[in-house]
């Protein structure tokens, strides 16, 4: 008989069992452990609880919270190692579990791909904190909304995604591209309906390398932000600026690049710095030609914003990793 100590959501547990010797590998085990999934010192329930705490707070705070609310005493170092080990188990199960692919395939809706990045503090090998970009990607399925006119876009009801599979990693662009391919195979995605992003060139490069030629859409809120920034310089914080922004925004949604070019060329009496800014705005939209078909996407009930991935950057990753003392 040999005791086995487990840490569970109810605290430490000690199990008595009769170990058996495997003549082939010369190891003593209790075969039922594999069946009831207690192959290490922590139960699955505790792993889920620890992972949730670590996803919200720093390891020290997560350890304090577990002890205060559940009476589970784990050091912050142990909790960090447990979270990392659990992450590896989750990644392995995603790649090898056919149920994941089946669930994504049977879910209704067209598949869109989203990508973005957020800079987070990173502890280097020499113990120094440096800021590195964490790349985030997501495959999302969503059913079509009702057809809408450009003037109706802010009031239309866009259905929530029926399923989202998101992933994040701190690697170079080639590494992120491989991860996108891996997740694509895991989910059984042959092609995507479209790709949405904030306009960063690396996003479109990844999209082309992973999916080839596919429809791309520039996030409408980032496009509007560029118009707003230009308007502040041209008109200041005035009613004229608000009126100009509203007109330009409607033109962008209705006519795309053609309308933006026409309206910007009509501006006259500009100073040198203002003209330079207008030219820069024009080049920004020309650089995203082919990604500005907002009118067509609204008419077919599709998303024109990348808020799904923006929210992941801000609320899931940024809020956790940009806490004071986090890295």
What average pLDDT does range 181-207 have in this prediction?
A: 94
* The most confident of 75-89, 240-254, 265-279, 309-323, by mean pLDDT: 240-254
Report the CATH number at residue 199. 3.30.420
Q: What does the alpha-carbon distance between residue 194 and residue 207 come to, in Å, rounded to a whole number?
A: 9
Mark whether 138 and 198 lie in a shared domain: yes
Mark whether 315 and 181 lie in a shared domain: yes
Three-state helix/strand/coil letters over 197-260: ECCCHHHHHHHHHHHCCCCEEECHHHHHHHHHHHHHHHHCCCHHHHHHHHHHHHHHHHHCHHHH
Question: What's the pLDDT band for 145 if we cut at 50, 70, 90?
Answer: very high
Candidate from 19-23, 138-142, 177-181, 317-321 with smallest mean pLDDT: 19-23
Q: Give the range of the structural domain holding residue 74, as residue numbers without chain letter.
A: 2-96
Comparison of pLDDT for 41 and 235, the residue scoring more:
235
pTM score, two decimals?
0.85
Mark whether 167 and 316 lie in a shared domain: yes
Comparison of pLDDT for 52 and 5, the residue scoring more:
52
- Say if 33 falls within a structural domain: yes
pLDDT at 151: 94
- Say if 297 falls within a structural domain: no
Mark whether 143 and 105 lie in a shared domain: yes
Q: What SS3 class is residue 28? A: strand
Structure tokens at 16: 């008595």
Question: What's the pLDDT band for 179 if we cut at 50, 70, 90?
Answer: very high
pLDDT at 40: 74
**What percentage of the chain reaches a pLDDT higher than 70?**
94
Q: Are 139 and 192 in contact (CB under 8 A)?
A: yes
Dihedral sign of CA atoms 304, 181, 107, 165 in order: negative
Mark whether 159 and 35 lie in a shared domain: no
Q: Are 94 and 186 in contact (CB under 8 A)?
A: yes
pLDDT at 183: 93
Express each pLDDT in 71-97 by its tens digit.
889 999 999 999 988 888 888 888 778
pLDDT at 323 over 80: yes
Express each pLDDT in 14-24 by its tens digit.
777 777 767 77
- Say if 294 falls within a structural domain: no
- Say if 28 falls within a structural domain: yes
pLDDT at 9: 82
Structure tokens at 218: 């520039």
pLDDT at 290 over 70: yes
Strand partners, 4: 15
- Say if 296 falls within a structural domain: no
Cα separation values, 19 from 3, 6, 33, Å: 9, 16, 10
Mark whether 198 and 278 lie in a shared domain: no
Mark whether 315 and 188 lie in a shared domain: yes
Three-state helix/strand/coil letters over 39-61: CCCECHHHHHHHHHHHHHCCHHH
Strand partners, 122: 130
Question: What's the pLDDT band for 130 if we cut at 50, 70, 90?
Answer: very high
pLDDT at 34 over 80: no
- Say if 300 falls within a structural domain: no
pLDDT at 13 over 90: no
Question: What's the pLDDT band for 43 if we cut at 50, 70, 90?
Answer: confident
**What percentage of the chain reaches a pLDDT higher than 90?**
64
Q: What does the alpha-carbon distance between residue 3 and residue 16 come to, in Å, rounded to a whole number?
A: 5
Residue 325, Ramachandran bin (φ over 0: left; ψ between -120 and 50: alpha; else beta): left
- Say if 313 falls within a structural domain: yes
Mark whether 143 and 209 lie in a shared domain: yes
Q: What SS3 class is residue 320? A: helix
pLDDT at 180 over 90: yes
Mark whether 74 and 188 lie in a shared domain: no
- Say if 47 falls within a structural domain: yes
The total of structural domains in the chain comes to 3
Question: What's the pLDDT band for 261 if we cut at 50, 70, 90?
Answer: very high
pLDDT averaged over the chain? 90
- Which residues touch 225 (CB under 8 Å, ≥6 apart)? none
Mark whether 211 and 227 lie in a shared domain: no
Dihedral sign of CA atoms 84, 141, 173, 304 in order: negative
Mark whether 209 and 109 lie in a shared domain: yes
Q: What does the alpha-carbon distance between residue 303 and residue 290 come to, in Å, rounded to a whole number?
A: 16
């Amino acid at each position: 008989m040999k005791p086995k100590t487990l840490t569970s959501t109810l605290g430490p547990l000690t199990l008595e069992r009769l170990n058996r010797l495997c003549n082939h590998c010369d190891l003593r085990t209790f075969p039922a452990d594999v069946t009831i999934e207690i192959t290490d010192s922590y139960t699955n329930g505790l792993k889920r609880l620890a992972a949730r705490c670590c996803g919200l707070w720093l390891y020290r705070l997560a350890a304090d919270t577990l002890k205060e609310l559940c009476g589970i005493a784990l050091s912050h170092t142990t909790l960090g190692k447990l979270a990392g080990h659990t992450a590896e188990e989750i990644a392995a199960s995603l790649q090898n579990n056919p149920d994941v692919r089946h669930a994504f395939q049977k879910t209704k809706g067209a598949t869109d791909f989203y990508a973005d990045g957020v800079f987070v503090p990173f502890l280097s090998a020499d113990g120094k904190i440096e800021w590195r970009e964490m790349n985030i990607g997501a495959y999302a399925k969503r059913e079509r909304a009702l057809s809408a006119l450009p003037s109706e876009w802010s009031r239309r009801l866009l259905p929530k995604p029926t399923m989202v599979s998101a992933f994040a990693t701190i690697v170079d662009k080639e590494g992120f591209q491989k991860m996108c391919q891996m997740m694509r195979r895991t989910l059984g995605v042959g092609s995507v309906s479209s790709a949405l992003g904030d306009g960063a060139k690396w996003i479109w490069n990844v999209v082309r390398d992973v999916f080839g030629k596919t429809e791309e859409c520039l996030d409408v809120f980032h496009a509007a932000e560029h118009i707003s920034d230009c308007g502040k310089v041209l008109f200041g914080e005035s009613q004229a600026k608000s009126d100009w922004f509203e007109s330009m925004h409607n033109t962008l949604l209705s006519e795309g690049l053609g309308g933006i070019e026409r309206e910007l060329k009509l501006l006259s009496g500009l100073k040198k710095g203002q003209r330079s800014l207008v030219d820069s705005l024009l080049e920004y939209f020309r650089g995203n030609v082919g990604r500005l078909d907002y009118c067509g996407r609204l008419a077919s009930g599709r998303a024109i914003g990348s808020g799904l991935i923006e929210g992941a950057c801000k609320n899931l990753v940024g809020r956790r990793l940009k806490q004071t003392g986090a890295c």
